[in-house]
Amino acid sequence: MPATVSAAHPDLADLYPPTAPFESGMLPVDGGHALYWEQCGRRDGLPALFLHGGPGAGIAPAYRRFFNPGRYRVVLFDQRGCGRSTPRGTVQGNTTPDLVADVERLREHLGIDRWVVMGGSWGSTLALAYGQAHPERCLAFVLRGIFLFRRAEVAWFLTGMGRFFPEAHRAFLAHLPETERDDSLAAYHARLIDPDPAVHGPAAVSWSRYEEHCSRLVPRLSDASAEACLPLARLEAHYMVNGGFLREGQLLADMPRIAHLPATLVQGRYDLVCPPSSAFDLHAAWPGSDLVMVPDAGHAALEPGIRRALVRALDEVAAG
């Protein structure tokens, strides 16, 4: 579900040049959480919100580069429990309604009336949940790697990806005793929420490597530490065990609330983490949306075809 960004990127010349935030801070919210946020681009530009994947992946400097800094005022933040937000890796007070409330709190804090909402993978889930809760605050949507958090999509993540990456799935299951492999989600969740680093650390690495292996058209694995992997793995398992804190089919059922707003859906044809059928279902429920099927891409946001399509979509929104 996330768009993980490794330290070593391919050439990103087709994105906008690197830019530094013109403002950043920490926003206290309920439950003892505090959110790291930043703004970049033009102070008087078209407001846009970037929602990262995961849940638990966090933001990265490369994500600023999807937006034309001469046109946009871009807001990015680390969701609860990840990145520079605190406390790190916690599941307490960490639900979809909590995150939707956080987005609205951040909008109010920054004095923004309405904004363009961009999100990928889990970020597309959160973008839809936020938009349906606050349609009057949204101008348009640019979404990537659609994930609607239906039971079938969670099951696909846990087992279906293994049909294409059997070696990765075998390694994913090998971390568990044979007696627990029939319910790998429950088994991983129990380990990932265990307070002992000797238990949750290896489980986090195994979970993250499985996902990373399946996220690109051509796999490229990193050697992330257990500490780095923990927020992503723990929070993903937490949200999956709880059905995304959404009713089954909720995001499609509530589409009438935002169907009048423009949207571009960017989807990799060979996305095995969030298969194209979800994007197709969302497009069918959103007649005014544009579905851009990238023919030579998997799931990751920075694959060449995906990133070019996202930049093009955001440029079109800025041009009006």
Angle of the 166-174 helix axis to the 197-213 helix axis, nearest 10? 170
How many whole angstroms separate alpha carbon 81 and alpha carbon 242?
17
- Kindly name the residue from 134, 271, 283, 289 that is annotated as catalytic: 271
How many whole angstroms separate alpha carbon 32 and alpha carbon 30?
6
Whether the CB-CB separation of 229 and 208 falls below 8 Å is answered with: yes
Bond preceding residue 256 cis, omega within 30 of 0 = no
- Kindly name the residue from 33, 52, 283, 299 that is annotated as catalytic: 299
- Cite the beta strand spans of 42-79 per DSSP E: 46-51, 72-77
How many whole angstroms separate alpha carbon 141 and alpha carbon 317?
9
Query: Position of tokens 């990751």?
Result: 300
Nearest to 165 by CA among 114, 213, 115: 213
238 a catalytic residue: no
Beta-sheet pairing, 263-268 with 138-144: parallel
- Kindly name the residue from 85, 121, 184, 215 that is annotated as catalytic: 121
271 a catalytic residue: yes
Q: Which residues are catalytic?
A: 121, 271, 299
